[in-house]
Chains A and B, each alone.
Chain A
């Protein structure tokens, strides 16, 4: 046997491609080369594999070894191919059983002493391998919990190269496992988010938050500092419906790619709140050689919260427009294109002006008019066009006026949201949409469920007055439907449209 093969996975975004790792042993002077569009880390794999094999008591054959990573035209990056390369190389001269090796996917980085080190992106890689029909996967033992989240595949955790070779039939004494490498300990806390009942005296705002959650509507909160904007936004993931299997896997995959340790599938939608000094790349993802997911990919299936939205550079906010439109983000670099999911619900919070006191009762705003214009101007235009609910938030003026039992808890709100979503799914049966925010405008206006002229009269009036654009018209209809869903009604009423209009622009019907 002079040609042996095994499998590895190359990741491009969250999409994994199965890579055929071929090793050829030819009767030439000793040499070891890797071909197939690898990056720098893959070039250095030669040294790691060489030393790891020697130090594991598994010397490589002293002839010319050529490793080909196929498909050869697909760019590959990172150190996760080390283990597959070493095992394929050892199979060329029969040190390990080539049939067993060919039926297994290997992921992992090698240390010079032969230990198998953890790598990022194990979860999406295992998912891809399972989808491609592979049934047995060897992963670094430190990534075992993460890889085991995937059903229908046999996942084996390996601590050292010798252990893997032994499993494939190498004739060596199994060494003591090396001191396990600690996984990078960045873990997104799985704790139940804070409760909605903590919010005092913001009954209207809480209602709007529930509407936003029920319809998946993007939302802008505007109010003075200390009014509770951040407090409200942090409670949104807690009232959203729990993630289904597919969404939870996608969220965990992005976390795995970001280098976090994933040990269980979290059902709580993620909340990402990047600081306003974040760059475009930090937000949408990128990098020069290795393309990493940004905040919007990590917020996918959950909430992207931009606090102090007016402080974000306009270029950063504009970068959100395409992902908002498409639900994913494509990052192009020379020779490589990567796609990450970006199905997030956008929540913007802003002060009314730089000092925060503009329009606040009992406070004096000292900002010059042009400063206020510039501040709010950052948010104008195409981005605000995507926002369905604009919510002015006032400072709380009474504490303790309402008894604690009268406030909604997150559990109650989550129940209402879930019922509203179910009702929307029932109503939208036979259409491609499941949430109100996704429904096309034409279907809302002229589809089978279009409201009667008497019901939509206030809306037509606003459009005629010029208070609303046609796109705004559609947004109001979407929010109105969410209000109807929350009441579990299947017809729109005039009051729904009135309230939706008020929530969009503060326009009294």
Chain B
């Protein structure tokens, strides 16, 4: 269990620095509420971006993006709405967006990052 959690944590770190490098401002990380957890919340220009990060060591058991199905997307949208209610100052007047970032690789130096914008 610990190895898996470490990988997930390393993946989220890698994504946070990747987003920062791409000009996003990271607002929140691993934000929790009774309904669940959001990996990353960032600001891209004028858009609030809720980011789901999926990390896998290999594609042997399927691509990480395949794990983000319709049910998962619906849950993320609900969480995004809760986040906005709880952070009215940051969210006011801004559009909301859902992104997914997939990472494949056994360790940070071998990470391959794929970023999907604006999931529907």
Contacts and interface: CB of A to CB of B under 8 A. Distances in A.
A30 B119 contact: no
A30 B117 contact: no
A29 B117 CA distance: 10
Question: For B69, B116, B118, B120, which residue has the most chain A Cβ atoms within 10 angstroms?
Answer: B116
Contacts, number: 23
B36 to A, nearest CB: 18
A422 B69 CA distance: 71
B120 A62 contact: no
Q: Is the interface of A mostly helix, strand, loop or mixed?
A: loop
A65 to B, nearest CB: 13
| Interface size, B (range) | 10 to 19
A29 B69 CA distance: 7
Contacts of A63: 65, 116
B50 to A, nearest CB: 14
A62 B119 contact: no
B63 A62 contact: yes
A500 B65 CA distance: 81
A277 interface: no
Contacts of B116: 27-29, 63
B7 interface: no
Interface in B71-120: 73, 100, 114, 116-120
A27 B65 contact: no
Contact of A30 (B63, B73, B120): B63
B68 interface: yes
B46 interface: no
B117 A62 contact: no
Interface in A53-78: 62-63
B59 to A, nearest CB: 9
10 contacts: A28-B119, A29-B66, A29-B68, A29-B69, A29-B100, A29-B116, A30-B63, A30-B65, A30-B66, A62-B65
Given A27-B117, A28-B119, 18 more contacts: A27-B116, A28-B116, A28-B120, A29-B68, A29-B69, A29-B73, A29-B100, A29-B116, A29-B119, A30-B63, A30-B65, A30-B66, A62-B63, A62-B65, A62-B66, A62-B114, A63-B65, A63-B116
Interface of B: 63, 65-66, 68-69, 73, 100, 114, 116-120
